[in-house]
Amino acid sequence: MNSKLEFLRSQYGVVMTLEQLAKALSRKPGGLREALDKPREVWAIRMNARKIYVGRRMYFPVEAVASLLDGAFASSEEGINESHD
């Protein structure tokens, strides 16, 4: 099992709040919220696809966050334009 995933699970459980994700990414919660509201980067699009709402609260599975931290969500346009070819 991935050490980042193990660490995130031990710290946060199975999901992270937007505030916790912002802290893990060294971003301000407002800036992260803006990046997710108007996604221009591949990582933001993919994180949006994985987010979960419980009421008004937004949560992110730690598996998705670990993938993001491992670099699985490329910052290039690769993957977005594949369906347009």
> Could you give the strand order of the β-sheet that contains 57-61, starting from the edge strand earlier in sequence?
15-17, 57-61, 52-54
Q: Is 62 part of any domain?
A: yes
Q: What's the pLDDT at 73?
A: 66
Total-model pTM: 0.77
Q: Which two tokens stand for residue 39?
A: 């996604």
CA distances in angstroms from 48 to 1, 6, 54, 62, 67, listed in the order given: 24, 22, 15, 13, 14
Q: What's the pLDDT at 71?
A: 81
Q: Is 81 part of any domain?
A: no
* Signed CA dihedral, 75, 12, 18, 56: sign only: positive
Q: Is 65 part of any domain?
A: yes
Overall number of domains in the chain: 1
Cα 34 to Cα 17: distance, rounded to the nearest angstrom: 15
Q: Which domain holds residue 66?
A: 3-72
Q: Is 44 part of any domain?
A: yes
Q: Is 58 part of any domain?
A: yes
Q: Which residues lie across from 52 on neighbouring strands? A: 59
Q: Is 85 part of any domain?
A: no
CATH code for position 24: 1.10.10
- Give pLDDT tens digits along the chain (85 positions): 478 899 999 999 999 999 999 999 999 999 999 999 999 999 999 999 999 999 999 999 999 999 888 886 655 444 444 444 4
